[in-house]
Amino acid sequence: MKISQIGEFGLIQVLKGILSSPIIGDDTAPVEINGETLLLTTDCMVEDRHFKRFYAPEVVGWKVISVNVSDVVASGGNALYALVSLALPDIEVAYVEGLYRGIKEACSFYGCQVVGGNITKAEKIVIDAFMLGKTDRFVSRSGAKPGDKLYVSGTLGDAKAGLELLLLERKKYEDFELKLIERHIRPTARIDYIKHIRKYANACIDISDGLSSDVWHLSRMSGVKISIKSNDIPVSEELKLFCKKHGRNPLEYALTGGEDYQLLFTHPEDRYNPFLDMKCIGFVEEGSGAYIDGETLHPMGFDHFR
Amino acid sequence: MKISQIGEFGLIQVLKGILSSPIIGDDTAPVEINGETLLLTTDCMVEDRHFKRFYAPEVVGWKVISVNVSDVVASGGNALYALVSLALPDIEVAYVEGLYRGIKEACSFYGCQVVGGNITKAEKIVIDAFMLGKTDRFVSRSGAKPGDKLYVSGTLGDAKAGLELLLLERKKYEDFELKLIERHIRPTARIDYIKHIRKYANACIDISDGLSSDVWHLSRMSGVKISIKSNDIPVSEELKLFCKKHGRNPLEYALTGGEDYQLLFTHPEDRYNPFLDMKCIGFVEEGSGAYIDGETLHPMGFDHFR
């Protein structure tokens, strides 16, 4: 049986069984050391899967740190220390320098630090980052409670539209198109939400596989029924313009687009904070499954092997 | 300028400059959290560089954990938690299961635990492991003191001979050859040395690049002169048999063979412990450079890009 027959998430289930570890399957792994909750996570970028060689190396470096910080933020934590493991062909040193400038810039922005790493040779560029964070309260994917409302930060679907635009490799882009491209190549982890998530969220996940998949992750891991309303899903003006121009449906982009790295979280309604760009898109009840406008929500997010 | 023109270690210097971090360049990165010294490290195995697809996946899994534990041990620490990041082609699930059985077996042996990871698609298998350890006293590569003696654990050069034998892909091997192959595919991190290193070593490194290179690493990082005596370098009976059979020089294998994952460390002579398989192979003086039998020692270890 090949991996593609069971998919990325099927494989993770198989491996969890072998390790018989209960904590695998969240955005980060929480471990207690001396009464402190540390958060461990890793995320990887592979050439021609997550980025192309023609991207500026600075943005690739920025992104690999951002996606790891995003996982730490989704667990209610602050990122502290990173290791970067590079597998590289014999490329220009200038490229690797650009990569590291992007990594350093991201670390300065997020308040973390690269303390080590590893370099090895390979045929394609693989950049693996490991992040150590900490929190006073670990927020998991499994804490959503009946009665909670479901919230999302920012807008969804932009990164997917940005990627499609970027792959056209046009010489000129309109302003709104450049903004969408920026959302793809330079996602920003929502560190402005750390305090809110840590203090109030019952469950949280960063949307990296697409809203429809990630709502299912929350529902399954929390053992609850989650319903969302399509009209409430926040989409940007830029995405609306893009969809108008290309005859697409913004909702499809918002539901299936991974890599927005926005946060999806639940808590009681009275914890709503008007100073954050959070929007209520649904609610949590006893039961199981994920629904949109009363119909079953089909998970259409990204699976590396399907 | 290509990476091959400055080599792996030249590239690390360039990247250290960009990050302006003083702590990069040791076996692990020590970070203080709540008065506890945590050790972070990462090491990676790339298909066709560090292993072949025909190796049993269990031994590949064992090895990726072992090489990371080895780094933690060289810093005087105990390995606690690991993350495993896999980049995989669409291969058989059974292969990945074997890999994880090896990972689990190694973790049980070393007393650590895999708490998370990541899976992504790629053209060749890349297995990146990240290890978090802890210690009461961080032992670096830079603490060797004039007056110290230089010690090595176990025997050197076996893994290199084992790799050469393995690549012959013969159907039958003699017993001593199988032992050498075992040293290559199933290295064991020297956790029996943790207490000794933590308590007594002024400097320590695990020999992963080859003795000649790693003596230079200690000498440079500690700012001392190190002299070794070729007759004192421990080589196994199996390596002697191998060299006799193939007309090779055991010393060359001991000096250049990486991947033995033995420990190279310094401390005063009166800290010698006869219950460990440690052997004095040289001494530390004021000055600089690395010497063998009075001549300059040429670093002939492994550089991925040269």
The CATH number that applies at residue A239 is: 3.90.650.10
What's A129's domain CATH number? 3.30.1330.10
pLDDT value at residue B34: 85
The answer to whether the CB atoms of A85 and B3 lie below 8 A apart is no
Assess whether B166 and B287 both reside in one domain. yes
Assess whether A71 and A205 both reside in one domain. no
Task: Provide the pairing of β-strand A149-153 with A36-46.
Answer: unpaired
pLDDT value at residue B19: 85
pLDDT value at residue A19: 85
Candidate from B19, B92, B115 with C-beta closest to A23: B115
Size of interface A-B (CB pairs under 8 A): 225
Assess whether B80 and B190 both reside in one domain. no
Assess whether B120 and B169 both reside in one domain. no
Where does residue A142 rank: exposed (0-12), middle (13-18), buried (19+ CB within 10 A)? middle
Assess whether B93 and B226 both reside in one domain. no
Q: Which residues in B lie closer than 8 A to residue A127 (C-beta atoms)?
A: none
pLDDT value at residue B197: 98
Q: How many CB atoms lie within 10 A of CB A223?
A: 12
From B302's Cα to the closest Cα of chain A, the distance in A is: 11
Closest CA to A162 of A177, A181, A179: A181
Closest CA to B56 of B115, B105, B14, B99: B99
Q: Which residue of A has its CA nearest to B10?
A: A93
- Cα three-residue angle B90-B93-B98, rounded to 5 degrees: 125
Q: Which residues in A lie closer than 8 A to residue B128 (C-beta atoms)?
A: 42, 44, 85, 118, 126, 128
Task: Please check whether residue A304 lies inside any domain of the structure.
Answer: no
pLDDT value at residue A302: 58
pLDDT value at residue A216: 95
Task: Please check whether residue A305 lies inside any domain of the structure.
Answer: no
pLDDT in tens for each of the 306 residues of chain A? 999 898 887 888 888 888 877 667 788 999 999 889 999 999 999 999 889 998 999 999 999 999 999 999 999 999 999 999 999 999 999 999 999 999 999 999 999 999 998 899 988 999 999 999 999 999 999 999 999 999 999 999 999 999 999 989 889 999 999 999 999 989 999 999 999 999 999 999 999 889 999 999 999 999 999 999 999 999 999 999 999 999 999 999 999 988 899 999 999 999 999 999 999 999 999 999 999 999 999 877 656 666
Task: Please check whether residue A87 lies inside any domain of the structure.
Answer: yes
pLDDT value at residue B73: 98
Assess whether B194 and B122 both reside in one domain. no
Last residue of a domain, one of B135, B163, B198: B135
Task: Please check whether residue B12 lies inside any domain of the structure.
Answer: yes
Single-letter residue type at A291:
Y
Assess whether B229 and B101 both reside in one domain. no
Is B42 marked as binding a ligand?
Answer: yes
Candidate from B15, B103, B126 with C-beta closest to A100: B15
Task: Please check whether residue B140 lies inside any domain of the structure.
Answer: no
Q: Which residue of A has its CA nearest to B19?
A: A104
Last residue of a domain, one of B135, B160, B191: B135
Is B47 marked as binding a ligand?
Answer: no
Tokens of A228: 């969302």
Task: Provide the pairing of β-strand A203-207 with B78-88.
Answer: unpaired
pLDDT value at residue B182: 93
Q: Which residues in B lie closer than 8 A to residue A28 (C-beta atoms)?
A: 116
pLDDT value at residue B238: 97
Assess whether B115 and B155 both reside in one domain. no
pLDDT value at residue A288: 97
Candidate from B8, B31, B50 with C-beta closest to A119: B8
ipTM above 0.95, yes or no: no
Assess whether A59 and A158 both reside in one domain. no
Candidate from B81, B100, B121 with C-beta closest to A40: B81
Task: Please check whether residue B128 lies inside any domain of the structure.
Answer: yes
Best residue in A27, A33, A51, A62 for a mutation probing chain B (most B CBs within 10 Å) = A33
CB contact set of A171 (below 8 Å; sequence gap of 6+) = none
Q: Which residue of A has its CA nearest to B120?
A: A304
Is B302 marked as binding a ligand?
Answer: yes
pLDDT value at residue A299: 76
Provide the number of structural domains found in chain B: 2
Long-range contacts of the stretch B162-166 (C-beta < 8 A, 24+): B163/B259, B165/B242
pLDDT value at residue A11: 87
pLDDT value at residue A306: 62
The answer to whether the CB atoms of A40 and B130 lie below 8 A apart is yes
Last residue of a domain, one of B78, B111, B135: B135
Q: Which residue of A has its CA nearest to B105?
A: A19
Task: Please check whether residue A207 lies inside any domain of the structure.
Answer: yes
Range of the domain at B263: 149-296
Assess whether A246 and A155 both reside in one domain. yes
pLDDT along chain B (306 residues), means of 10: 87 85 80 92 92 92 96 97 94 94 96 92 93 96 97 97 92 95 93 98 94 95 97 97 95 92 97 97 97 90 61
The answer to whether the CB atoms of B42 and A83 lie below 8 A apart is yes
CB contact set of A41 (below 8 Å; sequence gap of 6+) = A27, A28, A29, A68, A71, A72, A75, A130, A131, A133, B83, B116
Task: Please check whether residue A109 lies inside any domain of the structure.
Answer: yes
pLDDT value at residue B26: 86
Assess whether B250 and B155 both reside in one domain. yes
CB contact set of A179 (below 8 Å; sequence gap of 6+) = A158, A236, A238
Assess whether B169 and B277 both reside in one domain. yes
pLDDT value at residue B304: 60
